[in-house]
Every structure is written in structure tokens, then in C-alpha cells.
Structure 1
Amino acid sequence: MNTQEIGGTRAFRSAIDPPRTSKASSRRIWVRAFDLDDPTDTPKTFAEVISRLETQDPPHPYADHVKCAFNRMCDVFGKAPGQVPTDPVDLRKLIADAVPAAVPKMTSGRWTRIRSLVTTHLRKSGIEVEPGRDVGGHGTEWSALLEGVPKPIQLGLSRFASYCTRNGIKPANVTEATFNQFETCLRERSLKEKHEAVFRNAVRRWNDAVGTVAGWPQATIPLQRHARYFSQPWTDFPVSYVADVEAFLTSSAEEDIWAEDYKARSAPSTISLRRRQLLVLSSLLVRSGFPIEDLTSLSVLIMPENAFAALKVQEDRKGLCRSLEQLVWLLSLIADDWVKNSDHAAELRKRAKRISKKLSKRIGMSERNLARLRQFDVPANMAALLNLPYKVFAEARASEGGNAGDPRRLMLAFAVEMLLFAALRGGNLTALELDRHFVVTGRGRCQVRHLHIAADEMKGPDDLEMAMPSDTSALMDEYLNLYWPRLAPTGSAYLFPNRFGQKRAKSHFAQAISAFVREETGLIMHVHLFRHFAVKLYLAANPGDMETPRQFLRHRSDKVTRSHYTESQSSIAQARYHQTLAEARSNLRLGF
């Protein structure tokens, strides 16, 4: 058969046979074609969406897939379909609080597919939902503009470029009003929890490009300061007031055992916290309308009318919370120990006790942390987190020469191991230094590595002294020998250095660890949750023993430990009772 005959045969087959499509592409086709009878009559709940799918005539062959996606999302929320709204703002809050891993066999990939199906079908149902990722791509002019620019600008403006493409807005026509419309769209239609961060990052990247990228439209977009950053710099306040604040803080750092009004020296971390709290209180007072030039000393701040004005502004911002209680106690401390005004101190303590009484009904972990701990009721999730560091190191060993692993990934894996082993706070984790915090004793098989952190670096009053298990110590040796030198080629004193060999920023490192755990396991974790996880793990094996977690977490009093982990104790007690109930029923049924 010659070339011409082969070509003719192929043309004939293509004419009589439908083109072959992949499973993914065929699913995209039916999702796009799946429209309701009246898109203007939008459903208000997931139950209405499912009901319309079941009553559609003729039924679509893939309707079961969509209904399954809506039902599985309801399972993750722990709600019935009739309780889940279709409004994007309400749905966004549910998704933000959801812990998919708490549902058995709900992998991160499956959750992503469920979200995609639900979002797509909500749009087909007439619900205006901003797409998380625009598969249609950018317009020609936007693609040409973003081509070749630095990666941060590309990523930061990708969603904005998609929005402009869908709305027919060209780069040359972008104005402040365009970004305001984009912000409104994200706020009212997006399912992304941090939609405001997306908008602010887009504005920053646009302004960066205005000054650095040739041919970029020269329209600078103003960006207001974030509402949560309201504190004024110390330089804005009168010199006498700043001097009084520093004198108070300095006195807190000193200890005179011969003084009649002796008081124990405060830890450096406590002094740093009080400085920040005083800046917040001072800024709140100014925000309440008090003239900043009249704030000349701490005696002015602790006057009840001024203190309550500042605290009322904070309550309007954040509601009744622990931080508000701490600010009132700090003011009473200043009034009592520094200003020496017992009447003002008594009035402030009265208000502090009133707030404490109100908050005493909310003792324990937050509802969000409790929900995130429930994901470890699934044994597979527990195993995934406990084995994560060793799995990552094993994969690195299996690569060529055992030295080809990503050093940053191995660093994060060992950081997870340190959190599992010692349940450190974020500040202590990032500040770990090889020569100062690790001590090796013994030789050969009797060699033991100890973790030692002095009391002045800890939140509590005691030093941390802990012998590392042999497995953790061996993992640390492997990390230091193979991967640590590649993180900071110039050398560093820190266990987890940045690329310049300096200490990593606590917040950024904590975010990196959370993202790493979620990417590797699908679990939602933050650094402080490892402390709660440690108690949950121990109490599951040793019910009723609260003293060991208290000592391990270095709480001064068992009151703190019990107030935070009563939920775990109650769950264990309930499980024991239910087991007893089942056994009693089983024994009684033997007579039937």
C-alpha cells in the first residue's frame, strides 16, 4: 500500500469513527455541557442541587459522579446536604475549617477532584463562583506581557490576568478601578480562604513590574496598609512616654533581692512580649481619639477612663478574647508595681477578673484545633505523620548515590522529626544551634546526643534537657553529613539555616513545615499542633496519666494541662464506657 492509499484509509476511518478522547478530557466535556433547565433559579443548598440532578429529564449519564462529589464534601464538613449553603462566602468558611484527612480514604488528590467537580457544577447551576485556576489560559496580550518576567511577578499576577481575560480587559486599560473590581470579585465569589492576600500580592507584583519590567503599563496602583497593622511606631509617641516604657521594662529585667518590693526577674521573652503589648495599647488609645501628645507617661495610660477606651477599641476589633484579658492584667501590673496607684490597680484587676470569668467557659483548645486533631482518629493518618521523616530520608537514599535528594525537603522532614521528638515551640525550633544546644556524651555504642535549651530561652522557668532516641540521632547525623552543608555552603551555626547561613524567620519556617506536611500526607498541621498531637498520642496509650504530658510540655501547673486536654480524657472515658456497655449487652443477650 502506497502513501496515498494509507492517507485515504486514515481519512475514511476518521470520518466514520469518533475521535478518541482521554477520560479526563471526556469528563471536562460533559461537565461543561451539563446545564440545568433554568440557570437563573439558583439552588440555595447542596440538597437542592442534588434534588435537581435526580429529577432532571433526561438524566445525564454522569449525574451520579456529581452527586457523589456533593455528598462527599458534606461528609468532610460533617453536615447534611440541606445544611450546606451554595453561597460562595459561606461555603468558603466551611472549606477553610474542613479537615479532609479526618474522613477515611479521603486523600488530598480526591479532595481536589471533589472541589473541582463541585465548583464547576455550582457555576453551571448559576452560582457565581470565581474559578481557582483558569484552564482557558490568558489572553494574547497578557501572555505576551507576562512572558519572560520574573517568576514572582508571573505567579502573583496569574489570577488577575485570568480575571482580566475573562472580562475582556487589556493590560493597557488596567486602572485602580480594575483592581477594586478584582478585589470585590474575590471577596464575594472566591472559595479561597486567603483571598485578601491574593489581591494584595497582585497589587504589589503589578507595582514591582511597573518599575522593573520594560514595556509594562505605567499605572501604579495604591495599596492601603492592612487593617490588622494599626500600631504606630515608637517614634510617633512623646519622648518622655517612650522613656517611661523602657524604664519599666528595664526594671522588669533586673532583680534586687535586698529591695523591700522585691520581685522576680522577668524572662527576655516576657519583656519582649510586654513591649509589643504596650505598643498595641498605646496605639489603641490614640485610635480611640486620645491626643498622642498628651500621652506623656504610663500613669496616663493606666488611668481607668483611658485604659477602658483603648480596650474597647480592641474588643471591637477582636471580640472578647485571651489577648484582651492579658492586656488588662498588664495594665493592672503597671498600676500596682510601677505607677504605685492602688485604686487604679484595683479597678483594672476587677475588670480583668470579670473578663476571666467570661472566658472561663471557653477553657481548652479551639474548635479548629480539635477538628484538626480528629484527623488522627484515622490510623492511616497517624502512621503517615509518624513515618513521614523516615519515608522522606528513605526516598533520598534510594536516589542515585543517596545524595541527590532536595536538601530543603530533607531539612523539613528532619524538622518534623524534631517536633515529634521534642514538641518544641516554633521560636525554639528555628533558634537551635549545633554547638550550643546539642551535647554528645559517651563513645561508640554508648554515645548519646542530648538536646539542651537554657531556661532563659524557654517560655517556662526550667531548662530543657532531653536525650535523643537513637533513631532520631542517626537521622540527624545523616542530615548533617549529606544535606545540611548544601543548605548553607558558607557554613552556619544553626541546625536549620537559611541560604545565607542565618536563622530562619519563625513564621516563614512554620508555614513551610505546614505546607510540607500537607503536600506529603494531606494532613493539616501547624507547628504548635505537634504539642497537642504528642498529648493525644500519649493519652491514647496511657489513659488518665496527665502528669507525664505536663512534664513533657513543661507546664508549670497541671491546671493548664488539664484545661487543654480534658477533651482527650473525656473521649477515652467515653470509649471505655461504650466498650463496657457493649460487653454488658452481649452478656445479657446470651440468654435469648
Structure 2
Amino acid sequence: MNMINPRSNRTLTLEDLLSLVENDGDLERQRKLNIRSSIRKLPEIVGGTLQLLASFPVFRELIKKADIAAVGVTPARWSNIRSDLSFVFKRYGAATRAPLRKDLSKDWAVIMGMFELAEPKYRRGLSSTIHFCNNNDIGSAAVNDATFDAFLEHLTHATLKNRPEKTHQQACKLWNECGERFVSWPGRKVSVPSYKRRISFTWNEFPVTFNEDISKYELFMGTEDPTGQHCVGTPRKASTLAHHRKQMQRWASALVRDGYNIADITGLSVLVKLENFKRAVRYYHEEWLGGKKASLFEMASTMVVVAQEYVGVNGDDLEELKRIRNRLKCRERGMTDKNRERLRPFLAPMNQVKFLCFSEKLIKTAIKNGLSHRSALMIQKALVHEILIHAPMRLSNLVKLNLTRHIKRVKNGPAAKLFIVIPADEVKNQEILEYELPASTVRLFDLYLSKYRPLLLKGAEEGWLFPGEVHGHKHEVTLRDQLCRIVEKHTGLIVNPHLYRHIAAFFYLQAHPGDYETVRKLLAHRSVETTMMFYAEFDGLAARRLYSEHILERKINPELKFGD
């Protein structure tokens, strides 16, 4: 049953919860011990003390930022802690308890019954919505947009869902799908929200002349003709120009958001006019980003290139554009604080082992479950992980790996060596990449190709190692998200594909301090100075650790002389 709070739920603290649990006569002794242990452990994980307010919104934000690997908490233990926390919040602070199917009205019980022979996604995705409606006496035929608005409010303030907006959006989608999937579905369609902040207008919304000018810019900046008059001195790669195009779209859109008439954006010269340049900077700085960000500096830098090399701005105006751009610079060279925080858990050998070995568990589970789309995705994720460990390339190169263009085999007796070879013109810094995969990864590679990749191939065979849903290769965002989620699920570590490059350098320099040249070659940096700029601090950390060990040794052995 729900207990009554001795204090307002606005002032209830974790310490109060400990007392409430201890004095709760309806809970068994072991259950009390488990819950109290979870409550005490929570501040250690998220930071703070037992005086933290027991609030769903507060703890949702803390949980999002929790680094469980850094404090040695397993994903299973973390799941139990969150479950216990949700239980006590509802028991002592919220108006609802964990919903049970037997509590459903006849109306909603019929709805849940429809899901028994359907795909599990309907039951899983709509269960919380159905129980919310049931608890608030909302019938299935009465569900509308207002119902789902109230459901979002409930998710935000009365649950510990990591992403309440995502849960809400998915529930809306599934609700509408049910109207098409089930003949007797009683509900009406609802609006599906979009929580993605949108700044950019579509290309069709801009004047034709603006689109034409960007095409001319791409031709001008991408043409390599030493004798030509209509080309830039140093041609840009196609990928760079594609990035410039997106930046121009966002820059022009910022002007429009700031009140500039979209019909008057007739060419790139409009964007780099000094007053318009300032307007776009102010909009991003004040309205969109809330301060200086690396992305704003990068966009401003591109617009200065447009002004100087394409439009032909010069004199005082060009100098002022450069001055504004330089004032936006905020990113320090080298390792970012975010990546530094994500690498810190790897100081623990236990986390290193979990990270390096979790793919073995994925492979065993996939094989045990037989040939299915789900198993194929598990094998694919394991292969992505293993490739990035042994060949720490950039994500843009990983997703575009092609079996005919990048995979090379060399016979070695009965076996064969397998190499990943990426030409210099496909690499960000124009350095050729060549990696040899170890035998264990080659076996996984061949298993994936022979049994599991065919299950993921939806369209024509185009040779992509990681095929997309219909055609082409898998999207970078999809691959990144799948990898991040699977690593966190099995290890508790928060990583992204690019972090694998930092992890590779970290692992190697821990074993071989000072050997930056090997790391340079591994990561294909053009200069060792670039490598040292990013990773010299790893040596500094090792040096400080050695110093601490030296001091401790002197404390333990006072006979050591300082001259020794």
C-alpha cells in the first residue's frame, strides 16, 4: 500500500526515506535491508549526501549523469538501485504504486488482451500509458492529445524514466499504429510530438538563387586546376564541402530566425555582410546555444572562408569578421573535459577487462539464440567493437567500409591474413589507413559475413560491411547509438566510437610511457606534436602516480635516504 509522508514530498530527503523504510511494518526485513542499502549507495554514485531531496525530476537529471563504472557499480546493481529508489519514491512520496494488470478495468483489460498475439513492442511501449489512463479513470475511447499531454507530465514528474519525452513520443506512435493494426481498436489518432529542436529551414524554402550560389561555391572550392581562374588555391574535399553546405544552411536559418526576410537571402554575399554576420552570431550565442560553443566558432570560421576566398570581402570588413570569429574561440587544444571524464574509469583494471571482453558474451548469446535479426545485430555490434579496438579509425570511415574496396586478404598457408585498407583520399587528414586484424577478430568477421550479415541485408548487394535499412551503408547516428547503448548495458561505461581512439592511446601509453611515435602511427596523425598535444597528460598522470608510490615507500621504509 502507499504510505503517507510525514513531510511534504517537496521536502522529503533520502535520510527521511531511510527512516520511513526502517519503520515500515509491511516490509520484510531483507527487503528493508536491500532498500536501505540502495538509498545509502545512491549519493556515492551521483554525488551529494543523504540530505538530497527525494524528487523524481531531481534524480532523473542526476541519474543521467551518473558514471557507475567509475565507482565500481555493475549495470545489474545499478538497475536494482534505481528500482528500489522508484519503489520508495512511489510508496512514500507519490500518489501511485507499481501498476498491476489485475487492476485494469474491463475496458483496458480488453486492450491489453489484444497485445497477447501481437509483437511485444505494443505491450511494452503502451503498458505505462494504459495504466496511467486506468488510474485516472480515462476510457480507451476518450484518449486524445490532452490525455497524452497529461501522460508526459506524469512521466516527467512522477517517474524516473531517463528520457520521458522519448517514451511519450514512442507511445503516441504505437497508439496510432494500433489503430491500423487492430480492427477493433477503439482509440482515435493522436498527434506525434517532435522534440528535436529545429533551427534550419529546408533548401526549398530559400530562394533559388541562394541554392545556385552554394552550388557555384562548391564548384569553385572543389576544383583542382592549377591553370584555372575560377577555382581556389587549395581545393577542399567533397566531405568538407558537404559540411560547409550544412553550416551555410544553419547560418542562413539563424538570420531568418532573427527576423531577416528569407526572400532576401539571395546569395552567400548576404551571409557574410558584416551586419548580418553579427546578427547570426548573436542569435546563436544568445538564443540557441546560450554562450560560446565550439560549433559556433567552426561555423563562423567557415563563413570567414566564404567571405575571403569566394565572395571577396577585404579591408576593414574582413578584419572585423576575423576579429569576431577569434573572440568565439573557446575550445582548448587537446583532450576535452568530457572525454577526460569518460576515460577516467579506465584507470581501474576491472573496467578495462570488462570493456575488452564483453563482446565475447554478445557472441555466445547470439549463437545460443539462433539465426535471427536480433542475433545478427548482436554479432554486428560485437564486430564493430572488435574492429574499433584493433583498428581505431574514425566513425565516418567505419560506416563506409566496403568489402570490395577496403577489405584485403593475403593467403598465409591454410589460413589468411585480413587487412582493412582505406585510401588517403577517404581519410580526414589524407593519411592512408592500414590495419591487420588478429585471428580471433577474423573468425568473428567471417562468421558475421557467412551467417548474420545476410539477415541484415534488405536491399541490393552493394558490398557495405554494415548495410543500411534499404540501400547504402548504415547511418552514422544509428551505428553510434547502437554501440553506445550496448557498451553501457554490458559494462556501465559511457563511450562513443571516437573515444575508442583515445582509449587505444591510453592503453598503449600506460604500458609504454613516452612512445608517442607508435601512437601517432596507430591513429594516423600527421605529426607527433598532434599526438603529444592530446595524450601527454597520460604520461603526467603516470608520473604523479609513481611519485605517490615513491613517497609511500619512503614512509614505509624510513631507512631510505633522500640521496638514494
TM-score normalised by L of structure 2:
0.87
Corresponding residue number in structure 1 for 2:500: 530
Could you tell me how far apart the structure 2 residues matched to 1:59 and 1:205 are?
37
| SS of alignment partner, residue 404 of structure 2 | helix
Selected match of 2:349 from 371, 376, 379? 379
Could you tell me how far apart the structure 1 residues matched to 2:44 and 2:344 are?
14
- Over residues 427-474 of structure 1, what are the superposed CA-to-partner deviations in whole Å (9 max), with x where a residue is unaligned? 322221111101123441684322111223222211212222333223
Could you tell me how far apart the structure 1 residues matched to 2:345 and 2:523 are?
22
Instruction: Flag the 1:76–1:136 CA change in 2: closer, same or farther, 3 A.
Output: farther
Matched, 1:352 2:325: yes
Amino acid corresponding to residue 304 of structure 2 in structure 1: S
Corresponding residue number in structure 2 for 1:24: none
Answer whether contact 1:130 1:190 (CA < 8 A) is retained: no
Selected match of 2:336 from 365, 369, 378? 365
Matched, 1:96 2:64: yes
Answer whether contact 2:101 2:109 (CA < 8 A) is retained: no
Q: State the Cα distance separating 1:544 from its structure 2 match.
A: 3.0
Q: State the Cα distance separating 1:382 from its structure 2 match.
A: 1.4
Selected match of 2:546 from 558, 566, 576? 576
Matches within 5 A, 1:24-35: 32=1, 35=3
Instruction: Flag the 1:312–1:404 CA change in 2: closer, same or farther, 3 A.
Output: closer
Selected match of 1:334 from 300, 303, 306? 306
- Over residues 345-367 of structure 1, what are the superposed CA-to-partner deviations in whole Å (9 max), with x where a residue is unaligned? 321211121121x444x963243
Corresponding residue number in structure 1 for 2:224: 255
Selected match of 2:213 from 244, 247, 253? 244
Could you tell me how far apart the structure 1 residues matched to 2:472 and 2:349 are?
38
Q: State the Cα distance separating 1:167 from its structure 2 match.
A: 1.5
- Over residues 291-311 of structure 1, what are the superposed CA-to-partner deviations in whole Å (9 max), with x where a residue is unaligned? 011111111111122122122
- Over residues 200-257 of structure 1, what are the superposed CA-to-partner deviations in whole Å (9 max), with x where a residue is unaligned? 2222233333455433345333345445123111111111111111111221211222
Corresponding residue number in structure 2 for 1:209: 178
Selected match of 2:111 from 145, 161, 166? 145
Instruction: Flag the 1:407–1:177 CA change in 2: closer, same or farther, 3 A.
Output: closer
Matched, 1:549 2:519: yes
Answer whether contact 1:174 1:219 (CA < 8 A) is retained: yes
Query: Alignment identity in percent?
Result: 27
Aligned residues: CA RMSD:
3.3
Aligned length: 552
Corresponding residue number in structure 2 for 1:488: 457
Instruction: Flag the 1:283–1:220 CA change in 2: closer, same or farther, 3 A.
Output: same
Matched, 1:441 2:410: yes
Corresponding residue number in structure 1 for 2:430: 461
Instruction: Flag the 1:351–1:134 CA change in 2: closer, same or farther, 3 A.
Output: farther
| SS of alignment partner, residue 340 of structure 2 | helix
Corresponding residue number in structure 2 for 1:21: none
Corresponding residue number in structure 2 for 1:540: 510
Could you tell me how far apart the structure 2 residues matched to 1:37 and 1:416 are?
48
Matches within 5 A, 1:180-191: 180-191=149-160
**Which stretch has the larger CA shift, 253-262 or 534-543?**
253-262
Corresponding residue number in structure 2 for 1:470: 439
Instruction: Flag the 1:501–1:483 CA change in 2: closer, same or farther, 3 A.
Output: farther
Q: State the Cα distance separating 1:475 from its structure 2 match.
A: 3.0
**Which stretch has the larger CA shift, 57-66 or 168-177?**
57-66
Corresponding residue number in structure 2 for 1:318: 289
Could you tell me how far apart the structure 2 residues matched to 1:498 and 1:282 are?
31
**Which stretch has the larger CA shift, 198-207 or 430-439?**
198-207
Answer whether contact 2:35 2:84 (CA < 8 A) is retained: yes
| SS of alignment partner, residue 328 of structure 2 | helix
| SS of alignment partner, residue 406 of structure 1 | helix
Q: State the Cα distance separating 1:286 from its structure 2 match.
A: 0.5
Matched, 1:302 2:272: yes
Selected match of 1:293 from 263, 267, 271? 263
Instruction: Flag the 1:98–1:440 CA change in 2: closer, same or farther, 3 A.
Output: same
Corresponding residue number in structure 1 for 2:83: 116
Corresponding residue number in structure 1 for 2:34: 65
Answer whether contact 2:380 2:448 (CA < 8 A) is retained: yes
| SS of alignment partner, residue 588 of structure 1 | coil
**Which stretch has the larger CA shift, 499-508 or 380-389?**
499-508
| SS of alignment partner, residue 514 of structure 2 | coil
**Which stretch has the larger CA shift, 86-95 or 463-472?**
463-472
Instruction: Flag the 1:210–1:433 CA change in 2: closer, same or farther, 3 A.
Output: same
Instruction: Flag the 1:233–1:100 CA change in 2: closer, same or farther, 3 A.
Output: same
Corresponding residue number in structure 2 for 1:17: none
Matches within 5 A, 1:35-50: 35=3, 38=6, 40=8, 43-50=11-18
Matched, 1:168 2:140: no
| SS of alignment partner, residue 86 of structure 1 | coil
Could you tell me how far apart the structure 1 residues matched to 2:155 and 2:378 are?
32
Answer whether contact 2:86 2:159 (CA < 8 A) is retained: no
Could you tell me how far apart the structure 1 residues matched to 2:455 and 2:148 are?
41
Could you tell me how far apart the structure 2 residues matched to 1:273 and 1:436 are?
24
Corresponding residue number in structure 2 for 1:451: 420
Answer whether contact 1:494 1:501 (CA < 8 A) is retained: no
Instruction: Flag the 1:563–1:187 CA change in 2: closer, same or farther, 3 A.
Output: farther
Corresponding residue number in structure 1 for 2:128: 159
Could you tell me how far apart the structure 2 residues matched to 1:487 and 1:511 are?
17
**Which stretch has the larger CA shift, 181-190 or 241-250?**
181-190
- Over residues 363-394 of structure 1, what are the superposed CA-to-partner deviations in whole Å (9 max), with x where a residue is unaligned? 63243x43433332332321122123344445
Higher alpha-carbon Rg: 1
> Where in structure 1 are there 5+ consecutive unaligned residues?
1-31
Q: State the Cα distance separating 1:504 from its structure 2 match.
A: 1.8
Q: State the Cα distance separating 1:498 from its structure 2 match.
A: 4.7
| SS of alignment partner, residue 557 of structure 2 | helix
Answer whether contact 1:74 1:80 (CA < 8 A) is retained: yes
Could you tell me how far apart the structure 1 residues matched to 2:445 and 2:265 are?
53
Q: State the Cα distance separating 1:166 from its structure 2 match.
A: 2.0
Could you tell me how far apart the structure 1 residues matched to 2:204 and 2:461 are?
37
Answer whether contact 1:332 1:348 (CA < 8 A) is retained: yes
Q: State the Cα distance separating 1:119 from its structure 2 match.
A: 1.5
Matches within 5 A, 1:262-281: 262-281=232-251
Amino acid corresponding to residue 204 of structure 1 in structure 2: K
Answer whether contact 1:183 1:196 (CA < 8 A) is retained: yes
Could you tell me how far apart the structure 2 residues matched to 1:405 and 1:145 are?
27
- Over residues 102-133 of structure 1, what are the superposed CA-to-partner deviations in whole Å (9 max), with x where a residue is unaligned? 223x22222111111111112223257997x8
Answer whether contact 1:253 1:265 (CA < 8 A) is retained: yes
Answer whether contact 1:314 1:324 (CA < 8 A) is retained: yes
| SS of alignment partner, residue 168 of structure 1 | coil
Answer whether contact 1:39 1:125 (CA < 8 A) is retained: no
Could you tell me how far apart the structure 2 residues matched to 1:300 and 1:404 are?
50
Could you tell me how far apart the structure 2 residues matched to 1:216 and 1:238 are?
46
Answer whether contact 1:253 1:267 (CA < 8 A) is retained: yes
- Over residues 5-46 of structure 1, what are the superposed CA-to-partner deviations in whole Å (9 max), with x where a residue is unaligned? xxxxxxxxxxxxxxxxxxxxxxxxxxx57x466253654432
Q: State the Cα distance separating 1:259 from its structure 2 match.
A: 5.1
